[in-house]
Structure 1
Amino acid sequence: MRWRLDWYASLSLVGTVIKYLALTMVVPLIVAVIYGEDFWVFLVSLAVALGIGIGLEQFDDDPDLGPPEALLLVSVSWLAVAVVAAVPYVLAGYGTESTLRLPVNALFEATSGITTTGATVMGEISVDSHSHAIMMWRQLTQWLGGMGIIVLMIAILPELAVNGAQLMQSEAPGPELQKLTPKIAETARALWIIYFGFTIALIVILYGLNLVGLAPEMNLYNAIAHGFSTLPTGGFSPQADSIAAFSAVVQWVIIPFMVVAGVNFALFWHVLRGEFRTLVDNTEFRAYAGAIAVLVAVLTSVLALGGAPALERGGVTEGLTENTIRQAAFQIASLMNSTGFATADFAQWDQHAQMLLLFTMFIGGSAGSTGGGVKVVRWLVVLKTIRRELYTTVHPDAVQPVRLGGKVIDEDAIRGIMVFTLLYIVLFAVSAVFLELDSARIGEPISTLEAFSASLATIGNIGPGFGSVGPFGNYEGFSALSKLLMVFLMWIGRLEIVPVLALFVGRIQDR
């Protein structure tokens, strides 16, 4: 049975999403007024976004969503929001030497923000080179994309709440959606309230450090900016040196919040209800926390033995010191769940340390978190499935279900996880080869490690890679064609591949 796709219904609701998200431009507009910068940029951008949103709404007065329309709405909404989010960059860069004046660069930066990737094409990253309003918009796009645009819309728009479960399943990071309340709109609101609460907590703590003299550089602007990019595991910073620009105490404070951002937010809902055992007994959480602990210990050992030279921007000296432990803990917490902040130029570390960090990038955060990557729960299922196949090869008559947390995993779910993981690896590898070949074509060759890390950093929504795309580098040197490929990777990676690829299938059949 072939599904019929109602484009008008989906595009109408895409317009509704854009119309309401246009209102978020009021935040950088206020910043522009305070600092006397770029007021007209956000005034025009807000008007353009409202016009696009209202215009698209006219396609259908009473949209009705089925499964294919839900996929289309989710996929197109993220792409459309990225396009609209690029408008302020183009306007602010018009008539200047800013790299963002070019539409492809602006789209790359906007997509990187809204998908919480944190990769940048900005040659100069600071409020000295760009206005406070533009830099705050850059941070805000990450915060909006962190918990999910559609999840936010379901929480506030009744017309989307009707199909909320279906929409959230298409957008939610991870193989399954956990419904916390009888109504899906209440679940969406609960997740956003928890997300908002952690963000406010971090902002208050960071600015509090400034007030007591422990973080003189962490003024209110920087506290808000980094609150907006830590919880969504985004990684953008208005400082060229990222978190290396701040004191050690700031770095220690941000580490646990990065770890929290990679935890399934549904577990915090249970904790708030007094169900503490739900967090402790969760198999994925234990695996996630255990992996971080082991990786930090291994990287600390590598660095203590001389795995990183003494460098500027938070370099590491040999020996087991507070700095060595902090650098290891920060980089693992940042890359494990795709935050992308940096306190050291790990692109200059030795091969052993770099390979460990590359391995860390593959793991990802938890399902239901704001982290990117493959996700811990998928790797658990993949490993258990491999173990089962090896066992049944020796014992062909045995019935060996795959269990996780004492529960049997449905075979359809296992198949979906295996398909996603295979697609992820294939897309990552093919894209890496393309990036290396295309860089040679334009006379700016990059190494295989740089190509692979750039591909992994974009499809995994991680941000920094190695070499020229390291934590203090950028993606400006790639061709427009390569940047568009990475825009695609960021988009498809944030939506977990399958919902987007389903739209490219000529025939979508009902089961």
Structure 2
Amino acid sequence: MSIRVDWRQSVALTGTVIKYLSVAMLVPLALSLVYGEDTVAFLLSIGISVAVGLALERFADDPQLDAREAFLLVALAWGAVAIIGAIPYVVAGYGTESALRHPINALFESMSGFTTTGATVTEEISFDQHSRALLMWRQLTQWLGGMGIIVLMVAILPEAAVNGAQLIDSEAPGPELQKLTPKIAETARLLWLFYLAFTVLYVLILLGLHYAGLAPNMDAYNAVAHGFTTLPTGGFSPQADSIAAFSPAVQWAVIPFMLIAGMNFALFYLLVQDDYAEFLRDRELQAYLGANAGLIVVLWGLLFTGSAPTLELGGVTQGAVENSLRQATFQIASLLNSTGYATSDFAQWGTTAQGLLLFAMFVGGSAGSTGGGVKVVRWLVVIKGIRRQLFTTAHPDAVKPVRLGGHVIDEEVIRAIYGFTLLYLLTFGVATILILLDAGRVGLEITTLEAISASLATIGNIGPGFGFLGPFGSYVDFPSTSKLLMVFLMWIGRLEIIPVFVMFTGAFWTE
């Protein structure tokens, strides 16, 4: 039995990804020089990144990838960047009381950043505890991971563009890649261009609010930091109170960009071509916006009437139209597409409101977006598939294809969606049980809802959960074994499970 996968090719290109990660570290390095903080941490990290990258590149002179090598590269690259990305946390935290000085905590934070999960093990987020450079690196990892590290490599590196279609298909969220141009590298560049343009626009709007006197504490640093974490639906913030630290004007300004981040970025190509009708006819977009609107209305009613408690941390003013509408709109927009920002501590809300938020976490963003979760298009196909099954049970001789937006969906795609959804739910359920068992092993008191939310928040790349895992909470109290499990969940969740799990099968490696 021979090995079918030429792993050396994948390892060599993983080295290229790691090598160029050092370029991104120049941003926090520049800040460290300005503020005189953690310069050594980033110089050392850049040196390690370049050295490791060059060493791995020696495994193959001219890397060429088939489908299996592409799967392996994507999985290896995402794991490797999280490990390298953890180095600044460990070095900067050395000799301090920061939780990030521990390698497992640093890996958790780094994986959470690159996968845009937003779960954190930092107990205190402040410039007193962490340098501006380190916090900016924390935000920047989310921006790099949002549109996809491999998509970026395909866009800028000729050696990656050769196998671009296979690589992007393995990394991109959703059932299939929507090719915008004949050349896949051009498609990758277009996607990153849209992503960059929305980020710049968002930062300018935040700065505009600041200079207009509507957001006194939204300075340039905060504007850029939140630009790095909103469009990738990441949720990391340099403020301990997340978006609650800013004025209502800022909170309203964040909402449309969270909604945009959950849309299929390929659709914006239709707007560039002035094809507005086709843009609005997209069935997944309609379902995505409809799900947001419906859940917002229900949650608004719960908050406005006081069905959620008005505790101080809850942040809700019962009977106040604007306040309750803003809280409902923000939290649904944030959690449905896995951004994870918060304007109030929803862990203090009533069980009905929390149940609604838990349901929103399961929905996810659109395919081709930066959002996490199962994805809206998959739920649409699952629902339509169930309806077809009920119909054909009553009419055995009928032939009824599943259609979406007027197009017939291939049966192989339907089976793949069923398989993914089942595997996603199964993995989520098993992880929940393991988290409960591990917590009991070390004497950590945790409720079933907290374990469910921890599992869902990490595999869905959502971030905050309920109870002590709320939007202003931390995962630091979990034992190291649970943290490593959650690192695994974040990793497979970002890559949508299949590209990672397929490597654990014998058929992947052999003829």
C-alpha change, 1:133 and 1:438, in structure 2 (3 Å) is: same
What is the alpha-carbon distance in structure 2 between the residues aligned to residue 378 and residue 472 of structure 1?
31
- Equivalent AA in structure 1 for residue 100 of structure 2: L
Matched, 1:283 2:283: yes
Secondary structure class of the residue paired with 2:507: coil
Decide whether the 8 Å contact of 1:299 with 1:328 is kept in 2: yes
Q: Would you identify which runs of 4 or more consecutive aligned residues in structure 1 move more than 6 Å?
A: none
Q: For 1:90, what is the secondary structure of its paired residue?
A: helix
Instruction: Give yes or no for contact 1:373–1:461 (8 Å, CA) kept in 2.
Output: yes
One-letter code aligned to 1:225: A
Aligned to 1:56: 56
Question: Are 1:229 and 2:229 matched, yes or no?
Answer: yes
Give the C-alpha shift of residue 308 in structure 1. Answer: 2.3
One-letter code of the match for 2:251? Q
Partner of 1:419: 419
Equivalent position of 1:323 in the other structure: 323
- Match status 1:367 vs 2:367: yes
- Alignment-derived partner of residue 394 in structure 1: 394
After superposition, where does 1:187-336 map in structure 2 within 5 Å? 187-313=187-313, 315-336=315-336
Distance in 1, Cα, partners of 2:364 & 2:127? 31
- State the partner residue of 2:464: 464
State the one-letter code of the partner of 1:59. Answer: F
Q: How far apart are 1:243 and its partner, in Å?
A: 0.3
Aligned-residue offset at 1:74: 0.4
What is the one-letter code of the residue matched to 2:131? S
- 1:151 offset after TM fit, Å? 0.1
Q: Distance in 2 between matches of 1:113 and 1:56?
A: 24
Which sections of structure 1, spanning at least 5 residues, go unmatched? none
Q: 1:2 Cα deviation (Å)?
A: 8.2
Which secondary structure does the structure 1 equivalent of 2:368 belong to?
A: coil
- The reply to whether residue 339 of structure 1 matches residue 310 of structure 2 is no
- Asked if the contact 2:116/2:234 (under 8 Å) is kept, the reply is yes
Query: Aligned partner of 1:412: which letter?
Result: E
- Residues 314, 344 of structure 1: 8 Å contact kept: yes
Which digits, 9 at most, give the CA deviation of each residue in 1:73-104, with x for residues without a partner? 00000000000000000000111111001000
Deviations 1:399-425 (A, max 9, x none): 010000000000000000000000100
Q: 1: distance between equivalents of 2:3 and 2:179?
A: 27
Instruction: Measure the CA separation in 2 of the matches of 1:10 and 1:510.
Output: 16
> Is the partner of 2:44 in helix, strand or coil?
helix
Contact 2:347 2:467 in 1 (8 A): yes
1:497 to 2:489 alignment: no
The offset of 1:510, in angstroms, is 10
Conserved 8 A contact 1:300-1:320: no
Match of 1:120 in 2: 120
Counterparts of 1:410-449 in structure 2, within 5 Å, are 410-449=410-449
CA distance in 2 between counterparts of 1:411 and 1:452 reads 32
8 A contact 2:4–2:510 mirrored in 1: no
Does structure 2 conserve the Cα–Cα contact (< 8 Å) formed by 1:436 and 1:446? Answer: yes
After superposition, the CA RMSD in angstroms is 1.3
Q: How does 1:153-168 map to 2 (within 5 A)?
A: 153-168=153-168
Distance in 1 separating the partners of 2:213 and 2:394:
65
The question of 1:136 aligning with 2:136 is answered yes
SS in 2 for 1:271: helix
C-alpha distance in 1 between matches for 2:274 and 2:15: 40
Shift of 1:24: 0.5
**Cα separation, partners in 2 of 1:190 and 1:2, compared to 1, 3 Å:** farther
Q: Distance in 1 between matches of 2:3 and 2:44?
A: 40
In 1: Cα distance, 2:209 partner to 2:33 partner? 27
Corresponding pairs, count: 511
Structure 2: distance between partners of 1:202 and 1:63 = 38
Please give the alpha-carbon distance, in whole angstroms, between the structure 1 residues aligned to 2:2 and 2:58: 27
TM-score, length of structure 2 as denominator length: 0.99
Question: Corresponding residue for 1:356?
Answer: 356
Q: 2:314·2:348 contact (CA, 8 Å) conserved in 1?
A: no
Q: CA deviation at 1:128?
A: 2.2
Contact 1:438–1:479 (8 Å) recurs in 2: yes
